[in-house]
Chains A and B, each alone.
Chain A
Amino acid sequence: MNSPAIEIHDLTVSYREKPVLWDIDATIPEGSLCAIVGPNGAGKSTLLSAILGTIHPASGWLKIFDQEVGKSQELIGFVPQRESVDWDFPVDVLDVVLMGTYSKLGWFRRPGKAQRDWAMECLEQVGMADLKKRQVGELSGGQQQRVFIARSLAQDARLILMDEPFAGVDAATEEAIRLVLLDLKKKGRTVVLVHHDLQTIENFFDHVLLLNLRLVAAGPTAEIFTGENLLRTYGGRLTLLDEAAEAVRRIRTGRSRTGRDQ
Chain B
Amino acid sequence: MIDLQLTPVSWQIMMVAACAAAACGLLGVQLVLRRRAMLGDAIAHGVLPGLVIGFVVSGSRDLFPMLVGALIAAIFVSILAEWLREHAGVDGGAALGVVFTSLFALGIILIEIFARDVDLDAGCVLYGMVEYAPIHQVEWFGYSVPRSLTPVLGALLLNLGATVLFWKEWKLCAFDPQLARASRLPFQTLEQGLLVLVAITSVACFEAVGSVLVIAMIAVPATIGHVLCDRMSSMVIVSTLAGVVSAVLGTVGAIQLETGVPGMMAVSSGGLLVGAVLLAPGRGLIPAATRNFSWTMRVEMEDILAESHLQSMDSPPDHTDSAGAPSSRFFRILATWLLWTLGYIRNGIPVGRGERMARTLLKKRSLWKRFAAERMGLASDHLDEPAHRIEHHLDDDLTRRLESGFESEED
A interface residue numbers (CB < 8 A to B): 49, 52-54, 73, 75-76, 78, 80, 84-86, 88-92, 95-96, 99, 102-103, 105, 107-108, 110-111, 135, 155
B390 to chain A, nearest CB (A): 21
Question: Which chain A positions have C-beta within 8 A of B171?
Answer: 91, 99
Apart from A53-B182, A91-B175, 7 more pairs, CB < 8 Å: A54-B181, A73-B184, A76-B182, A78-B179, A92-B231, A95-B232, A102-B183
Q: Which of B96-104, B119-127, B162-170, B379-387 contacts A (4 or more CB under 8 A)?
A: B162-170
Nearest B residue to A157 via CB reads B183
Question: Which chain B positions have C-beta within 8 A of A89?
Answer: 33, 174-175
B283 to chain A, nearest CB (A): 11
Q: Return the CB mask of B196-237 against A: 1 if under 8 Å, else 0.
A: 000000000000000000000000000000100111101100
Nearest A residue to B230 via CB reads A135
Question: Which chain B positions have C-beta within 8 A of A85?
Answer: 175-176
Question: Which chain A positions have C-beta within 8 A of B230?
Answer: 90, 92, 135
Question: Which chain B positions have C-beta within 8 A of A105?
Answer: 168
Question: Which chain A positions have C-beta within 8 A of B229?
Answer: 90
12 cross-chain CB contacts under 8 A:
A53-B182, A54-B181, A73-B184, A75-B183, A78-B182, A80-B178, A92-B230, A99-B172, A99-B179, A105-B168, A135-B230, A155-B183
Say whether B35 faces chain A, with CB atoms less than 8 Å apart: yes
Question: Which chain B positions have C-beta within 8 A of A49?
Answer: 178
Nearest B residue to A54 via CB reads B181
Question: Which chain A positions have C-beta within 8 A of B234?
Answer: 90
A136 to chain B, nearest CB (A): 9
Question: Which chain B positions have C-beta within 8 A of A155?
Answer: 183
Say whether B349 faces chain A, with CB atoms less than 8 Å apart: no
Question: Which chain A positions have C-beta within 8 A of B232?
Answer: 90-91, 95
How many B residues touch the partner, as a band? Answer: 20 to 34
**DSSP majority for the B interface?**
helix
**Is B169 a contact partner of A107 (Cβ separation < 8 A)?**
yes
Say whether B138 faces chain A, with CB atoms less than 8 Å apart: no
Partner pick for B226 among A52, A75, A90, A96, CB 8 A cutoff: A90
Question: Which chain A positions have C-beta within 8 A of B183?
Answer: 75-76, 102-103, 155
Q: A53-B181, A99-B171, A102-B172 are in contact. Are A108 and B165 (CB under 8 A)?
A: yes
- Name the interface residues of B20-60: CB closer than 8 Å to any CB of A: 33, 35
* Most chain B CB neighbours (cut-off 10 Å) among A80, A89, A108: A89
Nearest B residue to A151 via CB reads B179
Say whether B185 faces chain A, with CB atoms less than 8 Å apart: yes
Question: Which chain A positions have C-beta within 8 A of B184?
Answer: 73, 75, 103
**Is B231 a contact partner of A91 (Cβ separation < 8 A)?**
yes
Bound Cα distance from A256 to B235, whole angstroms: 48
Question: Which chain B positions have C-beta within 8 A of A86?
Answer: 35, 175
**Is B175 a contact partner of A99 (Cβ separation < 8 A)?**
yes
Bound Cα distance from A88 to B169, whole angstroms: 19
Question: Which chain A positions have C-beta within 8 A of B176?
Answer: 80, 85, 99
Question: Which chain A positions have C-beta within 8 A of B165?
Answer: 108
Bound Cα distance from A153 to B80, whole angstroms: 40
Bound Cα distance from A54 to B177, whole angstroms: 9
B242 to chain A, nearest CB (A): 15
B255 to chain A, nearest CB (A): 35
**Is A80 a contact partner of B175 (Cβ separation < 8 A)?**
no
B174 to chain A, nearest CB (A): 7
Partner pick for A102 among B168, B174, B181, CB 8 A cutoff: B168
Partner pick for A52 among B169, B182, B185, B235, CB 8 A cutoff: B182
A108 to chain B, nearest CB (A): 6
Nearest B residue to A79 via CB reads B179
B241 to chain A, nearest CB (A): 15
Nearest B residue to A137 via CB reads B230
B232 to chain A, nearest CB (A): 5
